[in-house]
Structure 1
């Protein structure tokens, strides 16, 4: 009898955890716009903005006033590549392909963010 109560309690606990995870997934998906995504680069002291569509593979070289950053768009994702900065941390962010993902190159004063196309 004790064993059955413990098993039932474990099953109820697992069901609650799974329901909570499903609810969080639904809330996250509801917050996404479903619009096509683009990469936005904000750089320099004037916070200049450039928009790159993710539908077309391309490489971009952007002079930020401090360094020239190299952005690659490929297969619906964007990233910093071949960074001229001393530590290359921006390259380690990898491929960004989901809304609100961000990579930053501090020496170049550049921020790359994935956003819905407006």
Structure 2
């Protein structure tokens, strides 16, 4: 009876470790190869931003200097200088086709690909 309980506990521990390993593996590649595209200004300047490296970007659009932060495979408008700050409300973008816009700065941001 005692060895049966031990085997049940061992199987339970193995299942938990397997689940934890799968979850770790799924999250470890987040943003690896992801790219976002920023289009800004009157001339629709296009800038590709890799999502696989944490960074901060300050881009002068000709109207405002927008601030973007890339972190953990995702990107967001931060510390917006525009009057309404609505672009910050889009939050973090990480999935393909996620998008955000800062209309006063004439800037749009879209995630082209993930993982």
Instruction: Flag whether TM exceeds 0.5 (same fold).
Output: yes
* Superposed displacement of residue 36, structure 1: 2.8
Moved over 2 A (4+): none
Deviations 1:45-91 (A, max 9, x none): 11001111000000000000000000000000000000000010000
Aligned equivalents of 2:34, 2:51: Cα separation in 1: 6
Which residues in structure 2 correspond to 1:32-111 (within 5 Å)?
A: 36-111=33-108
Structure 1 gaps of 5+ residues are 1-34
Q: TM-score, normalised on structure 2?
A: 0.69
Q: Secondary structure at the match of 1:111?
A: strand
Aligned equivalents of 1:78, 1:95: Cα separation in 2: 5
Q: TM-score, normalised on structure 1?
A: 0.68
CA RMSD of aligned residues (A): 1.4
Aligned equivalents of 1:55, 1:80: Cα separation in 2: 17
Aligned equivalents of 2:102, 2:67: Cα separation in 1: 11
Q: Name the counterpart of 1:113.
A: 110
